[in-house]
């Protein structure tokens, strides 16, 4: 399974970066191959200063070795080894009318000292973080997620949409990071779902990503915007940074397993603002966005 899934994410990385370069029309992804001293490595691809994408990364990694003590305590195990692979992407567009997007699809195995698999699971999802709210964009993104889920189980979309709303919640701000999407984790074999079934579901969602996001980018990338709207984008980016550094499990896992810091923090935008006690104007589009972020909404 680990070889099959790693082959999948390598191909998916190629597919996604090629399409995003086509959409941007100016910038290309720079590739950085790296190795982890404890075992494994990855292929980082970063795009910067493009016509559409100010900064973005589409990274894959496959790492293995002894599970660090901090993670042993987290999982409640002793002297375990692990293998983890996944694709993680974040795209920060230049135009504030184009939303930021994040996605991740991953697979994990844990072994005893004899090398036997004692646990394995899939995880992942994709979510949208706009700065200006276009309802039809939210509906499109969530509808695409629902279509992918419905091919595998009628309960998946509702369940994983709710988990996304719960997970991407900036608790210290009491607001959502964005409009959500899908979030699933610890997807293990059961009487009704084999690991092959989970593989088929996760790859279905991965394959749906470009359909969910690219039409929104194409529709919004040429819209005009003001300096004030750009400032708002950078203020909201600050909330994105706060979530990733305070709450995000993927960031914390990477830091606790001696992950490659440049790849882990590629999700952070290049230009961000923090204003003291900032509040948008009453009745503005900026305030409307905040109202939606305070109470997650069902878009489909």
Q: Are 230 and 96 in contact (CB under 8 A)?
A: yes
Q: Which of 92, 102, 140, 142 is catalytic?
A: 102
Kindly list the domain boundaries of the chain, sorted by start residue.
2-294
Determine the pLDDT at residue 160: 98
Residue 222 has a pLDDT of 98
| Nearest residue to 133 via CA among 74, 164, 176 | 176
Instruction: Give pLDDT < 50 ranges for the chain.
Output: none
Predicted pLDDT at 75: 76
pLDDT at 139: 98
Q: What is the pLDDT of residues 210-253, one digit of tens each?
A: 999 999 999 999 999 999 999 999 999 999 999 999 998 888 87
CATH number for domain 2-294, candidates 1.10.645.10, 2.30.30.90, 3.40.1500.10, 3.40.228.10: 3.40.1500.10
At 230, list the tokens: 């750009």
How much of the chain is in helix, strand and coil states, percent to nearest 5?
Answer: 45, 25, 30
Q: Quick one: pLDDT at residue 255? A: 81
DSSP labels, 194-240: -HHHHHHHHHHHHHHHHHHHHHHHHHHTT----HHHHHHHHHHHHHH
Q: pLDDT for 128-173, tens place per residue?
A: 999 999 999 999 999 999 999 999 999 999 999 999 999 999 999 9
pLDDT at 80: 85
For this structure, is 102 an active site residue?
yes
């Amino acid at each position: 399974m680990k070889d099959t899934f790693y082959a999948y994410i390598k191909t998916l990385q190629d597919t996604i970066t090629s399409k995003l370069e086509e959409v941007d029309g100016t910038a290309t992804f720079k590739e950085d191959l790296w190795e982890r001293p404890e075992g494994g490595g990855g292929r980082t691809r970063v795009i910067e200063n493009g016509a559409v994408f100010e900064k973005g990364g589409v990274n894959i990694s496959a790492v293995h070795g002894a599970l660090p003590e901090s993670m042993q305590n987290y999982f409640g195990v002793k002297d375990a080894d692990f293998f983890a692979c996944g694709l993680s992407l974040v795209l920060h567009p230049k135009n504030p009318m184009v939303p930021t997007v994040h996605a991740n699809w991953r697979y994990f195995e844990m072994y005893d000292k004899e090398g036997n698999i004692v646990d394995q699971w899939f995880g992942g999802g994709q979510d949208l973080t706009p700065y200006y709210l276009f309802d039809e964009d939210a509906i499109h993104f969530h509808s695409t997620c629902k279509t992918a889920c419905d091919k595998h189980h009628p309960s998946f979309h509702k369940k994983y949409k709710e988990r996304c709303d719960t997970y991407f919640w900036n608790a210290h701000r009491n607001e959502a990071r964005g409009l959500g999407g899908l979030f699933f984790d610890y997807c293990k074999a059961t009487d009704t779902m084999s690991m092959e079934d989970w593989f088929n579901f996760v790859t279905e969602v991965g394959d749906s990503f470009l359909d969910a996001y690219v039409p929104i980018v194409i529709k919004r990338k040429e819209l005009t915007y003001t300096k004030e709207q750009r400032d708002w984008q950078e203020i909201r980016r600050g909330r994105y940074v706060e979530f990733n550094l305070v709450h995000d499990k993927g960031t914390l896992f990477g830091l606790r397993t001696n992950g490659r810091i440049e790849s882990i923090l590629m999700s952070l935008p290049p230009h961000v603002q923090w204003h003291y006690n900032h509040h948008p104007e009453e009745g503005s589009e900026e305030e409307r966005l905040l109202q939606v972020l305070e109470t997650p909404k069902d878009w489909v």
